[in-house]
């Protein structure tokens, strides 16, 4: 099973490139952000809890996100592979993912890290906010999401570098060119 983590700051293109990967490699998509937004839309307890964090651009607590992941993962067990989009975002989440995969006889296959500079990220997120209507795509929340990325999520890169699974890819250029580079990296490990 191909287990791809797509890694990068908010606005780096994870969602867009995930869609391309899903089509080309027939993968199931696990986006914790999408799961949380669906819970919010349905007005569940989990959704209500998540809303407070998402609106401020903060991370939803690890135990909540980790707890919800096992069920999602099991619902995808017949897929050819999974793409993890927006998870893991902290060291404890990465440890939990490795444990969950190990228990299922699997492991992380590759970590694709989309590299984009901060001014470009802010530009993209503001533009996306004008179209998406996402409550967290406003300047104040964007800034705190980028801080959270820098402080809590980007340290994961070092962790995946030591496992030899990290493939940094420049996330600037056309969507097609970037996807070509991602596909080459995935084909290399297959």
Q: Residue 91 is encoded by which pair of tokens?
A: 């060291």
Q: Segment 17-76, which members bind ligand AMP (CB under 6 A)?
A: 32-33, 36, 53-54, 57-60, 65
User: What track of x and - describes contact with ligand AMP for positions 74 through 113 (by CB under 6 A)?
Assistant: ------------xx-x---x--------------------
Nearest distance in Å: CB 127, ligand AMP = 15
Q: Which residues contact 69 (CB under 8 A, 6 or more apart)?
A: 30, 32, 87, 96, 97, 100
- What is the spatial order of strands in the sheet that 110-115 belongs to? 28-31, 81-85, 2-8, 110-115, 166-170
Residue 37 a catalytic site member = no
Nearest to 149 by CA among 83, 89, 73: 89
Question: DSSP assignment of 19-75, as one string?
Answer: HHHHHHHT-EEEEHHHHHHHHHHTT-HHHHHHHHHHHHTPPPPHHHHHHHHHHHHHH
Shortest distance, position 78 Cβ to ligand AMP, whole Å: 23
Residue 124 makes contact with ligand AMP by CB under 6 A? no
- Choosing from 56, 104, 134, 143, the catalytic residue is 134
Nearer to ligand AMP, 43 or 164 (CB): 43
Residue 134 appears among annotated catalytic residues: yes
Binding site for ligand AMP (CB under 6 A): 10, 32-33, 36, 53-54, 57-60, 65, 86-87, 89, 93, 136, 145
């Amino acid at each position: 099973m191909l287990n791809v983590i797509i890694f990068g700051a908010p606005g780096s293109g994870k969602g867009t490139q995930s869609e391309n990967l899903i089509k080309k490699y027939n993968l199931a998509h696990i986006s914790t952000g999408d799961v949380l937004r669906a819970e919010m839309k349905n007005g569940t307890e989990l959704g209500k809890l998540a809303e407070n964090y998402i609106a401020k651009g903060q991370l939803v607590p690890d135990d909540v996100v980790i707890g919800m992941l096992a069920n999602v993962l099991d619902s995808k067990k017949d897929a050819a592979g999974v793409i993890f989009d927006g998870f893991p975002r902290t060291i404890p989440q990465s440890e939990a993912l490795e444990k969950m995969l190990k228990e299922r006889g699997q492991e992380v296959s590759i970590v694709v890290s989309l590299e984009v500079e901060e001014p470009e990220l802010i530009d993209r997120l503001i533009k996306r906010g004008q179209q998406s209507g996402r409550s967290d795509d406003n300047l104040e929340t964007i800034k705190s999401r980028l801080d959270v990325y820098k402080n809590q999520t980007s340290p994961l890169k070092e962790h995946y570098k030591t496992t030899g699974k990290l493939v940094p890819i420049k996330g600037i250029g056309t969507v097609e060119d970037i996807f070509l580079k991602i596909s080459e990296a995935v084909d290399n490990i297959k």
